[in-house]
Amino acid sequence: DTAVSQTPKYLVTQMGNDKSIKCEQNLGHDTMYWYKQDSKKFLKIMFSYNNKELIINETVPNRFSPKSPDKAHLNLHINSLELGDSAVYFCASSQAGNYGYTFGSGTRLTVV
């Protein structure tokens, strides 16, 4: 009965590899997001999708490609991973507008 679930929880990979993180929400929300939390705990938005359409792309390198097959899913694919990509990535969802977000439990990505 998890509201926003993302997999995997942990991801350790070598530089140059390509990896994906999956996210699913069962709340019926219209909007989904990807946020990156750095080592200082700062959360920064990367992408936002509303009903499968990209509405926010916050100056993220084009090695990062989100994909939303339907409004309940938002996946994140990362090409040619770099050391600086190491962080915790959070998926979240909300109803459109001034509503609170429901976050997943995060994916800790470590690039070695």
Of 13-21, 66-74, 77-85, 103-111: span binding other proteins (CB under 8 A):
103-111
The DSSP output letter for 60 is -
Which residue, 34 or 81, has its beta carbon nearer to other proteins?
34
8 Å CB contact between 81 and 59: no
Q: Which is nearer to other proteins, 4 or 87 (CB)?
A: 4
Residue from 42, 61, 79, 80 in contact with other proteins (CB under 8 A) = 42
Q: Give the Cβ contact number of residue 33 at 10 Å.
A: 23
- At residue 31, what are phi and psi to the nearest 5 degrees? -120, 140
Which position among 60, 92, 109, 111 is part of the footprint of other proteins (CB under 8 A)? 92
Tokens for 95, please give them.
């109803």
- What's the CA gap between 23 and 90, in Å, rounded? 9
List of residues contacting other proteins (CB under 8 A): 4, 31, 33, 35, 40-45, 48, 55-56, 90, 92, 96-106
